[in-house]
Amino acid sequence: MNFFFRSMKMVRFCLFLSLFLVSLGSLTGMFLVFYVTKDLPKLPSPLSRIIETPQTQIFAANGQVLITLGERKPIHLNRVSKAFINAIIATEDHRFFEHHGLNKLRILKGLYVTFFHSGKVQGASTITQQLAKNLFFSFEKTYDRKFKELLVALQIEASNTKQEILQAYINQIHFGAGAQGIEKAARVFFGKSALDLNLAEATLLAGLPKSPTRYNPYRHYDRALKRREVVLKRMAQVGFISDLEVRQTLLTRPELYHEQSDSRTGSYFLDVLIKELIQKYGEDVVYHGGIKVSATLDTRLQAYARQSMVTGLERLDAMMGITKEQTDHPQGALVAIDTGSGAVKAMVGGRDYYTSEFNRAIKSRRQPGSGFKPFLYYAAFKDLGFHPATILTDKPVRIPVRGAADWKPQNFEKRFSGDMVLKKALTYSVNTIAAQLVEKTGPDAVIRIANACGIRSPLQAVYSVALGTSSVTPFEMASAYSVFATLGVMHDPFFFWRVEDAFGRIIFEHIVQEKRVLDASTTYQVVDMMKSVIERGSGQSIRQQGFSRPAAGKTGTTDAYNDAWFTGFTPTLCTSVWTGFDTQKKMVDSNRVGITGGNIAAPIWGDFMMNALNADPERDFPIPDTIRFEMVDTTTGCQLSGENERQDGLVVALKKEQRVCKDGEQ
Amino acid sequence: MIRQWYEPLIFSEWMRRAFSFLNIAVFMLTATVVFSEFRFDWFETLVGGYLESTNDSRPETGAIWEAGKQTANAQEYLNQIINKREDTRQIAHQAASFIDLSSSLLPGEWVTLEKQQFKTLYMALEKSMAVKIMDPVQLVWLLNGSTLDRIFCEGSLEGIKVYFIDSENRVIQQVDLKKEDLVEIENGEKPLAGKLVDMDGFQGRIYSPQNFFNALFELPGDIIPDLIANPKALLRQEGKITGVGIWNEAKNGYIKLGFEFEQAGVKQIVFVKGREWAVWQLSLNIRRNKD
């Protein structure tokens, strides 16, 4: 009996204690509600005000909208596929239509898991709470924030219908890839409206808000499918679909929409443009100012650039024997600049933006190899009085370097061809002759010319700088070669022509200014030599492709075959192409033969330029009045006449005062 | 009446007390409250309703309101840029001279000028001064013969830069106007303390005022205005002319003339420009008079 009495005493004590605690809890709760209320954010009325931020629009050069920043395409619930609504409700809050903002059972379960299973945290937020959090609070995890979010959710429920809440929710959730709201997401990921989403697509989208980056289907398609499986099973548990539908849907792999993937927030060009706008005007203006920006990007050229790069890199994969399943693929970059203004017309910063946002066109500094030789030849012509018919000897060279081992550059073919004119030396990219030239000009002269043409990356004042051992970006190469295309006139490269406010008032206009940085006649001589690179030298694969317009350029391949370049231009468009691995890794084909700029970068360049210029009239480079042409023997540099003209001769561009020896005069 | 509480001694007493009316009522009430809350969510509704009633008095804080503020900030910033540009435009359009224009544009500020306004400013200058900015023929070509679309002026530390721009925003012609040059263009060169004989460029070409003016008045009447196109600088200067020098070089079709003034024992030289061919005529007269 004593045990019974003691138990009853304990029960009584517990009862009174519980009553006391409940009373205390209630009082504390009431106090907190009143106390916290004054700091709670005011709710906009109606909730649809959440989409009233003015949108910043960026237009392409042809007027097409490239991107709308802060864009939300709010739609009514009846314009959303039923499958998506069911999927999001099943996944996020299946009792949404039953509760008044809180799911108490889920909260209790969440508290239990959080307190009694160390290391685990169970989420218990309803759709209304998530809406409250997204609208008003940061993502900081504190009890204070959670409590306020809970109170706001209660108010949202009290002042809006369930339909209004659900509509606001699906119109503001983030799906990644710059898509906010279901309509935008449906258009970005599947190229269709939210109403047309089928079960497979709707469930894939419904899985994304949990972690838009982790489940981004462009980057982690299989991971996104796994998440979709969770959504489908949840829908079946809740009773929205049958197990058969789950099994059938799991077999389908929704096709992602790739058509405009380069013209969305993510594209490499837009990243650079937006960064520049932010530097100029600040984030508030760019994201909330409703400005209209006229970009330089030409969507037609951009599409060609992307296509040429994709095709070229697939070809490179095939040459190297790399299969799709392998993870380490070579990358590429392409920049195209309008030579007459400096406007950047197209930019590809990598193989696929959605697998790597790193913009190799702007940020990746790589050794340009022989792509630097035009700066050297210009310096030699200008400073030493050399010309394209000057003779030097292709032979083993050893150049003493103060405080270091002698520099002994090698030719790519590892053989020597004896005497030759400089035009032939550049055409066939003879390193030993370039080394002799830089020994005479000094590396500073080469750096001076490169800097004048717009190379801003640090260049080391060593002899090998002439052979491209200092790293530069494809953007710099395209910009610098543009100076050759205009025969010495520099235009600063730029990304946007005009910025207007929401009322069409002009905030900024780009003025195209010309700066003569190189002498026109000397530049023409170098350009004429670079034309020969495409006609008969290391870039002749371009002619074999069928690109017949007047063009000039130079290949570049680094010693270890880590980088393969081709930068070239017509009088109107200058394009630089780089290919290589992100890490220092050799590019060799299946026979272990190194892949050069002429093998891979030049065909990408040719493919792009053929498409880019197909609608433009053909133009040749203007010839300065001071230039005349002579046919010379490539080994003696002497003028050829009569029958000799058909033999080993090259037409060289000479200034009026420059003389070559007559045939037999040597 | 105070009743002493005592512990029940028997089981039935315990049961009677446990199931007393008060206990059952408290239990029922508590259970009703808890279950009705789970069933009807009245607490949430109550709190929600209360918060709704206080909505208008609460602060506009949180992400969505911040976005609104950022929008307002952005609009304010953009309006500032527009207003400043509009002010600059108005001041620039009221400018009566290139100096006025230069002082209305701070470094980095710009304004678009109408062709007519540029023409008016240009034509307000004396011919000899206007040519320093641009040859009149070149201006005729720019304004009437080229693809000129707009004239764009930008302030710089040194003065102003004038860009003549076509419809594709390409610069057809650029003119940099330095502040000191503008002052000189508008007012003529400042008088220089010193003597003509001490200046290079005038050696052997310094004449007495009498010789100079005699030769000048022998010129045909229509040539004299071309000889001293801008006599204001000379009229402004006080004192007596003690010598006149002719510079040994022509520039842009003009030759510099130096007038040496003396006042209270202090000598100063005032420079003006004369049309090259008029000065040659004058030189011939001086030489002939000497012979």
Closest in A41, A154, A157 to B65, CB measured:
A41
CB contact under 8 A, B78 and A287: no
The percent of residues above 70 in pLDDT, for chain A, comes to 94
CB contact under 8 A, B64 and A136: yes
CB contact under 8 A, B171 and A514: yes
- DSSP letter at A70 equals T
A241: CATH: 1.10.3810.10
Q: Is residue A245, in this structure, part of any structural domain at all?
A: yes
A589: CATH: 3.40.710.10
CB contact under 8 A, A40 and B11: no
Residue A455, pLDDT score: 96
Sequence-distant (≥ 6) Cβ neighbours of residue A141 within 8 angstroms: none
Residue A643, pLDDT score: 57
Q: Is residue A550, in this structure, part of any structural domain at all?
A: no
Q: Is residue B120, in this structure, part of any structural domain at all?
A: yes
CB contact under 8 A, A288 and B71: yes
Residue A1, pLDDT score: 56
Residue A264, pLDDT score: 52
Residue A88 belongs to domain spanning: 73-256
Least confident of A398-412, A453-467, A472-486, B48-62: A398-412
The percent of residues above 90 in pLDDT, for chain A, comes to 64
ipTM of the complex: 0.73
Q: Is residue B274, in this structure, part of any structural domain at all?
A: yes
CB contact under 8 A, A513 and B163: yes
Q: Is residue B272, in this structure, part of any structural domain at all?
A: yes
Residue B235, pLDDT score: 85
Residue owning tokens 């009431």: A30
Q: Is residue A498, in this structure, part of any structural domain at all?
A: yes
Q: Is residue B43, in this structure, part of any structural domain at all?
A: no
Outline where A505-554 has alpha helix (H).
Answer: 520-535, 541-545
Q: Is residue A133, in this structure, part of any structural domain at all?
A: yes
Same domain? For B199 and B285 the reply is yes
User: Using CA atoms, how far apart are residues A209 and A202, in angstroms rounded to an integer?
Assistant: 12
Q: Is residue B140, in this structure, part of any structural domain at all?
A: yes
Which chain B residues are closer than 8 Å to A155 by Cβ? 48, 51-52, 55
Same domain? For A201 and A324 the reply is no
Tell me the per-residue pLDDT of A476-491, one tens digit each, with 9 for 90 and over.
999 999 999 999 999 9
Mean local confidence (pLDDT), A360-370: 94
Q: How far is CA A468 from the centre of its chain?
A: 25
Same domain? For B177 and B228 the reply is no
Q: CB distance from B157 to chain A under 8 Å? A: no
Mean local confidence (pLDDT), B125-130: 72
Mean local confidence (pLDDT), A612-633: 93
pLDDT at B50 over 60: yes
Q: How far is CA A132 from the centre of its chain?
A: 34
pLDDT at A65 over 90: no
Same domain? For A503 and A595 the reply is yes
Mean local confidence (pLDDT), A13-32: 82
Least confident of A117-126, A201-210, A292-301, B208-217: A117-126
Same domain? For A117 and A232 the reply is yes
Same domain? For A127 and A97 the reply is yes
Same domain? For A118 and A135 the reply is yes
Q: Rounded to a whole number, what is the distance in Å from the CA of A471 to chain B's nearest CA?
A: 32
Same domain? For B214 and B256 the reply is yes
Residue A665 vs residues A634, A640, A660, B108: alpha-carbon distances, Å: 15, 11, 10, 61
Residue B53 half-sphere exposure toward CB, CA atoms < 13 A = 7
Residue A320, pLDDT score: 92
Report the SS3 class of residue A550: coil
Residue owning tokens 């007390």: B17
CB contact under 8 A, B7 and A5: yes
Q: CB distance from B48 to chain A under 8 Å? A: yes
Mean local confidence (pLDDT), B259-283: 87
User: Using CA atoms, how far apart are residues B41 and B24, in angstroms rounded to an integer?
Assistant: 24
pLDDT at A663 over 70: no
User: Using CA atoms, how far apart are residues A89 and B200, in angstroms rounded to an integer?
Assistant: 94
Q: Rounded to a whole number, what is the distance in Å from the CA of B16 to chain A's nearest CA?
A: 13
Same domain? For A241 and A176 the reply is yes
User: Using CA atoms, how far apart are residues A275 and B287, in angstroms rounded to an integer?
Assistant: 72
User: Using CA atoms, how far apart are residues B85 and B89, in angstroms rounded to an integer?
Assistant: 6
Closest in B48, B74, B174 to A285, CB measured:
B74
Q: CB distance from B147 to chain A under 8 Å? A: no
Which chain A residues are closer than 8 Å to B57 by Cβ? 38
Same domain? For A89 and A220 the reply is yes
Q: With bands split at pLDDT 50, 70 and 90, how would you rate the model's confidence at A574?
A: very high
CB contact under 8 A, B44 and A157: yes
CB contact under 8 A, B54 and A37: yes
Residue B4, pLDDT score: 76
**SS3 breakdown of chain B: % helix, strand, coil, rounded to 5?**
55, 20, 25
Domain total in chain A: 2
CA-nearest residue to B70 within chain A is A284
Same domain? For B156 and B101 the reply is yes
Report the SS3 class of residue A200: helix
Same domain? For A283 and A223 the reply is no
Residue B132 belongs to domain spanning: 75-184
pLDDT at B2 over 70: no
Which chain A residues are closer than 8 Å to B59 by Cβ? 39, 41-42
DSSP codes, A284-302: HHHHHS--EEEE---HHHH
Question: Which of A72 and B1 is assigned the larger pLDDT?
Answer: A72
Which chain A residues are closer than 8 Å to B48 by Cβ? 100-101, 154-159
CB contact under 8 A, A37 and B60: no
Tell me the per-residue pLDDT of A308-363, one tens digit each, with 9 for 90 and over.
999 999 999 999 998 888 888 999 999 999 999 999 999 999 988 877 889 999 99
Q: With bands split at pLDDT 50, 70 and 90, how would you rate the model's confidence at B39?
A: confident
Same domain? For B170 and B80 the reply is yes
Q: With bands split at pLDDT 50, 70 and 90, how would you rate the model's confidence at B79?
A: very high
Residue A423: both structure tokens together:
């035009």
Question: Which of A38 and A312 is assigned the larger pLDDT?
Answer: A312
Q: At CA B169, angle to CA B168 and CA B173, rounded to 5?
A: 115
Domain termination residue (choose one: A256, A286, A316): A256
CA-nearest residue to B172 within chain A is A513
Residue owning tokens 């002698």: A406
Residue A121, pLDDT score: 62
Which chain B residues are closer than 8 Å to A99 by Cβ? 41, 44
Residue A432, pLDDT score: 94
Residue A34, pLDDT score: 83
Question: In chain B, positions 20-39, which contact chain A (CB-CB < 8 Å)?
Answer: 26, 30, 38
Q: Which of B44, B110, B154 to mutate to test the interface with A (most CBs of A within 10 A)?
A: B44
Q: Is residue A399, in this structure, part of any structural domain at all?
A: no
Question: Which of A560 and B186 is assigned the larger pLDDT?
Answer: A560
Q: CB distance from B64 to chain A under 8 Å? A: yes
Residue A352, pLDDT score: 85
Q: Is residue B248, in this structure, part of any structural domain at all?
A: yes
Residue A263, pLDDT score: 45
Least confident of A140-144, A324-328, A472-476, A616-620: A140-144
Which chain A residues are closer than 8 Å to B54 by Cβ? 37
Q: Which of B47, B60, B61, B65 to mutate to test the interface with A (most CBs of A within 10 A)?
A: B47
Tell me the average pLDDT of chain B. Answer: 84
Q: Rounded to a whole number, what is the distance in Å from the CA of B159 to chain A's nearest CA?
A: 18
pLDDT at B253 over 90: no
Same domain? For B256 and B216 the reply is yes
Q: CB distance from B174 to chain A under 8 Å? A: yes
Domain termination residue (choose one: B135, B168, B184): B184
CB contact under 8 A, B165 and A511: yes
Q: Is residue A281, in this structure, part of any structural domain at all?
A: yes
Mean local confidence (pLDDT), A8-22: 79
Tell me the per-residue pLDDT of A247-262, one tens digit each, with 9 for 90 and over.
999 999 999 887 654 4
pLDDT at B186 over 70: no
Q: With bands split at pLDDT 50, 70 and 90, how would you rate the model's confidence at A265?
A: very low
CB A554 within 8 A of CB A533: yes
Which chain A residues are closer than 8 Å to B50 by Cβ? 33, 37
Same domain? For A64 and A79 the reply is no
Residue B9, pLDDT score: 79
Question: In chain B, positions 195-254, which contact chain A (CB-CB < 8 Å)?
Answer: none
Task: For the beta carbon of residue B100, count every other beta carbon within 10 angstroms.
Answer: 15
Same domain? For A182 and A96 the reply is yes
Q: Is residue A147, in this structure, part of any structural domain at all?
A: yes
pLDDT at A408 over 70: yes
Tell me the per-residue pLDDT of A416-458, one tens digit each, with 9 for 90 and over.
889 999 999 999 999 999 999 999 999 999 999 999 999 999 9
Q: Rounded to a whole number, what is the distance in Å from the CA of B111 to chain A's nearest CA?
A: 11
Q: Is residue B48, in this structure, part of any structural domain at all?
A: no
pLDDT at A664 over 70: no
Domain total in chain B: 2
Q: Rounded to a whole number, what is the distance in Å from the CA of A514 to chain B's nearest CA?
A: 7
Outline where A160-198 has alpha helix (H).
Answer: 162-172, 182-190
Domain termination residue (choose one: A256, A278, A306): A256
Same domain? For B177 and B112 the reply is yes
Same domain? For B85 and B180 the reply is yes
Closest in B70, B168, B170 to A284, CB measured:
B70
Secondary structure element (H or E) that encloses residue B149, with its range: strand B148-155
Q: Is residue B173, in this structure, part of any structural domain at all?
A: yes
Tell me the average pLDDT of chain A. Answer: 89
Which chain B residues are closer than 8 Å to A45 by Cβ? 55
Q: Is residue A137, in this structure, part of any structural domain at all?
A: yes
Q: Which of B78, B149, B152 to mutate to test the interface with A (most CBs of A within 10 A)?
A: B78
Q: Rounded to a whole number, what is the distance in Å from the CA of A551 to chain B's nearest CA?
A: 24
Same domain? For B155 and B193 the reply is no
Sequence-distant (≥ 6) Cβ neighbours of residue B48 within 8 angstroms: A100, A101, A154, A155, A156, A157, A158, A159
Domain termination residue (choose one: A622, A640, A657): A622
Residue B200: both structure tokens together:
């290079």
Closest in B38, B48, B169 to A158, CB measured:
B48
Tell me the per-residue pLDDT of B65-75, one tens digit each, with 9 for 90 and over.
888 888 889 98
DSSP codes, B186-198: HH-PPPEES-GGG
Residue A408 vs residues A83, A118, A434, A468, A558: alpha-carbon distances, Å: 70, 66, 12, 15, 15
Tell me the per-residue pLDDT of B85-112, one tens digit each, with 9 for 90 and over.
888 888 888 888 888 888 888 888 888 8
Q: Which of A155, A491, A497 to mutate to test the interface with B (most CBs of B within 10 A)?
A: A155
Bridge pairing between strands B159-166 and B171-178? antiparallel
Same domain? For B202 and B176 the reply is no
pLDDT at B128 over 70: no
- DSSP letter at A512 equals B
Same domain? For A236 and A116 the reply is yes
Bridge pairing between strands A331-338 and A344-348? antiparallel
Closest in A37, A102, A511 to B152, CB measured:
A511
Characterise A592 by phi-psi region: left (phi > 0), alpha (psi -120 to 50), beta (else): left
Same domain? For A275 and A321 the reply is yes
